[in-house]
Amino acid sequence: MSDPRARPVLRDSYAPTAPAARGSANLGDILERVLDRGIVIAGDIRVNLLDIELLTIKLRLVIASVDTARELGIDWWEHDPWLTGKNRELLEENRRLRDRLAAVEQHSSLPRPPDPEDLAPEQTGRTGEAGRPRGTERHGE
């Protein structure tokens, strides 16, 4: 795109800001206003307002793709033990338990349950959207 863009402002805007800092308003605040507020009039160019609503939702989800987010200093999930890192010992424990269970089952010749992974808590790092709790991605609307 050829339009001049105030990249540095974007970056700065996430630093602690002085109160009433006109001109350095953060991108989130601006987007929220220009997309969600202001007079809605049907122009000749029909931009489906639904598209715009969709866009704002998407923005809320997409704006911090992991890299962008890190760049902006948004990294809360890295400190949430439930999401990452700290539950490693749990994974370890789970693996041990499953191994023991398997051993026990073999011993007593019980049929193996179809999907032993079910015993693991949600965030097993097993990738795959299927195991992710539903509905947590779209809060806010």
Binding to another protein in span 61-120, by CB under 8 A:
61-64, 66, 69, 72-74, 76-77, 79-83, 86-87, 89-90, 93-94
User: For residue 132, what is the DSSP state?
Assistant: S
Region of 15-23, 100-108, 110-118 interacting with another protein (CB under 8 A): 15-23
Contact call for residue 130 and another protein (CB under 8 A): no
Token pair for residue 14? Answer: 């996430």
Region of 21-29, 99-107, 109-117 interacting with another protein (CB under 8 A): 21-29
Contact call for residue 8 and another protein (CB under 8 A): no
Binding mask 26-65 for another protein (x = CB under 8 A): xxxxxxxxxxxxxxxx-xxxxx---xx--x--xxxxxxx-
The least distance separating another protein from the CB of residue 106, rounded to whole angstroms, comes to 23
Pair 85, 78: CB distance under 8 Å:
yes
The least distance separating another protein from the CB of residue 103, rounded to whole angstroms, comes to 18
Residue 128: left if φ>0, alpha if ψ -120 to 50, beta else—which one? Answer: left
Closest CA relative to residue 16, chosen from 75, 76, 80, 73:
73
Pair 129, 136: CB distance under 8 Å:
no
